[in-house]
Amino acid sequence: MAAIKLTWQILWILSLLAIPTAGQGVAQPAPMIALLTPTEGSIMISPIAVSAEMTLGEASLVRLEMTNGQNQTIARQLHRVNASTDDLFEYAASLPFEIPTESAPARLSLMLIDSQNRPLCLRSAALTLQSDGNAVFQTLTPSSPWLVITSPEPDDLISGGEIEVTGQVTPLTDNPVFFELYSNSGRILMTIQLAVEQPGTAVDFTLTIPYTIPAEQADALLVIRQSTSPYNETIILDSLSFTISP
């Protein structure tokens, strides 16, 4: 009996060690989207079968949207997801559409959004829509990451009123790459632009983003995105979360 009691005590102590203490943060996986279908340049008829693999991170919504050549929304769906899911999430949806002509250009985008309506990750594909005929899918080719952030790291604690961001980016267009610092309430604290000289060419960068906060400490989100034009729709987006203090 004494041996059994001792064994239970050991198991109980080990279980306590496995439980995070109050206030100890558990790192969330970085939000990620791999858009599998449709791919860039595909010709689609209604409805579009959309498939993707995701790491949700702190996302609470998935937004599936299609816009026409004038950046007008022609189809949209919102799906609620479980923000505590750490495993790879397989996403599938059917998106119907109508167009007034036989054929029209469009862009399909898939975005992860958190509970504060902050964008976490976005992937998109330029398509040709047809009112009739057969769908033609382009071959999915593996691509290198468009963005690599080497500093700061996820969940870092940053102080001093400035965030130094270093990494490498391969711009998709000749428009600026935007770095937007969001507060934990969803408000943009600061926006910095990185000029693009040669789309498709990887460049190293170091940026300093100033900030001020009224609290002693706050969660923050750095969103990095690029658009088809300076004031047009976002075509790719990633984010990084950390904590800032004065």
pLDDT (tens digit per residue) in 70-124: 889 999 999 998 766 678 889 999 999 999 999 999 999 999 999 999 999 999 9
Residue 163 to residue 161: CA distance in whole angstroms: 7
Amino acid of residue 58: E
State pTM to two decimals: 0.85
Nearby residues of 158 by Cβ (< 8 Å), 6 or more positions away:
152, 242, 243, 244, 245
Predicted local distance difference test score (pLDDT) of residue 71: 87
DSSP state for residue 116 in the 8-state scheme: T
Q: Minimal CA–CA distance to 39: which of 29, 27, 48?
A: 48
Domains annotated on the chain, with CATH: 27-143 (2.60.40.2550), 144-246 (2.60.40.2550)
Predicted local distance difference test score (pLDDT) of residue 192: 96
pLDDT digits (tens, 9 = 90+) for 130-145: 998 888 888 777 678 9
Count of Cβ atoms closer than 10 Å to residue 113 Cβ: 20
| Element spanning 128, H or E | strand 119-130
Predicted local distance difference test score (pLDDT) of residue 207: 96
Which residues lie across from 43 on neighbouring strands? 128, 136
State the 10-residue block means of pLDDT for the chain, 246 residues long.
Answer: 37 32 45 93 95 93 94 94 77 94 95 96 96 83 87 94 96 95 94 94 96 89 89 90 94
Quote the distance between the C-alpha of residue 220 and its chain's center: 15
